[in-house]
Amino acid sequence: MKIGVPQEIKNNENRVGLTPAGAFELVNYGHEVFVQESAGIGSGFSDEDYYEAGAVLLPTIEAVYAMADMIVKVKEPTPYEYPLIKRNQVLFTYFHFASSEELTRAMIASKAVCIAYETVSDEDGFLPLLTPMSEVAGRMAIQQGAKYLEKPIKGRGVLLGGVPGVPPGKVLVLGAGVVGIQAAKMAAGLGAHVTILDINMKRLRYVNDIMPNHVVTEFSSVFNIKRHIKNHDLIIGAVLIPGAKAPNLITREMLKEMRPGTVLVDVAVDQGGCFETTRPTTHEEPTYIIDDIVHYCVANMPGAVPYTSTLALTNVTLPYILKLANLGWETACEKYPDLGRGLNIVKGEVLIEEIKKAFAEVDLLMG
């Protein structure tokens, strides 16, 4: 199979879809790997690294799309890439269709085979390709939130860990999934007081078992959310419904209940966001302020630490890339049900119910 790795062109996205080590493995199996020149530079991998791994370097993104049977990326295609996608071409990347009608309609029109990292899952619902980036994003949420609590950036002026004689900052985490647990772990490590809310008692029991005593669990409800937002300094939106749009747990009206300078970090921005006031931002302009509340809603948070993120991503995607390349997408998805659950849009047909429900004109999306 001919596998293409284009350079990511989303704002400040420095990750790359495949490491040189991944390219070496694919070439070793007899496949051809085409990498756009400079695609790996942001992650710390030179063109020479890919060349030595056996990849063929191509000068433009157009050339990569034209040569490849399968495109391996990190983020969803941008409008610039839509016309480059070929009929029946396999696209293996993060899509998050439910948050973008434009992207969904473009992929339907392309007649390509869209396999989304974020919906590849086992029978128990574990998401192996989303997990490493969720781990990175959860940890980064606290790192960024702590920074934007500083007064020069219009935060409350709170040091999360406090100091002797001064109480620590308070962190509210909405969701006890991978992102939420990683965020809670980081916040607790800094010495902050952490409250984590979820509707899944099994997850809350797990958090109780693994976290220190200054991490408190509570059942998530509108009442409890309204109560906690009044006195927490940093609020992390970490709710995930696989393939679906995230629920708005904090409304615009609720911002008035918060103290000025409170920081909201919405890790669910890729799926539409946990907060009504969420809108995607970039690493270039990561924050905005509404009603004196600082919002950090960067849609590709792990892109800020591309070396770590790219290695973590290729660790989990490479086995699936090999299956797709060795067997072809139809056989691979039939033989491996976890990979089959990654099929979102196939040759113009939407296969995921949550995507259909996300938009009003369901009949059009059904192809």
Active site residue 122: no
Catalytic: which of 69, 198, 270, 338?
Answer: 270
Catalytic: which of 31, 69, 96, 338?
Answer: 96
Cα gap 355→240, rounded to integer Å: 14
Helix extents (H) in 7-100: 20-28, 47-52, 61-67
Q: In which residue are the tokens 């790795």 written?
A: 5
Q: What are phi and psi of 17, to 5 degrees?
A: -70, -15
Cα Rg of the chain, angstroms: 21
Name the E strands within 110-224.
113-116, 170-174, 193-198, 215-219
Cα gap 93→6, rounded to integer Å: 12
| Residue type at position 323 | K
Angle between helices 20-28 and 306-327 (to 10 degrees): 10
What is the 8-class DSSP label of residue 140? Answer: H
| Helix (H/G/I), strand (E/B), else coil: 319 | helix
The neighbouring-strand residues paired with 93 are 116
Cα gap 345→364, rounded to integer Å: 13
Q: In which residue are the tokens 């679906």 written?
A: 244
Active site residue 96: yes
Task: Show which residues are catalytic.
Answer: 96, 270
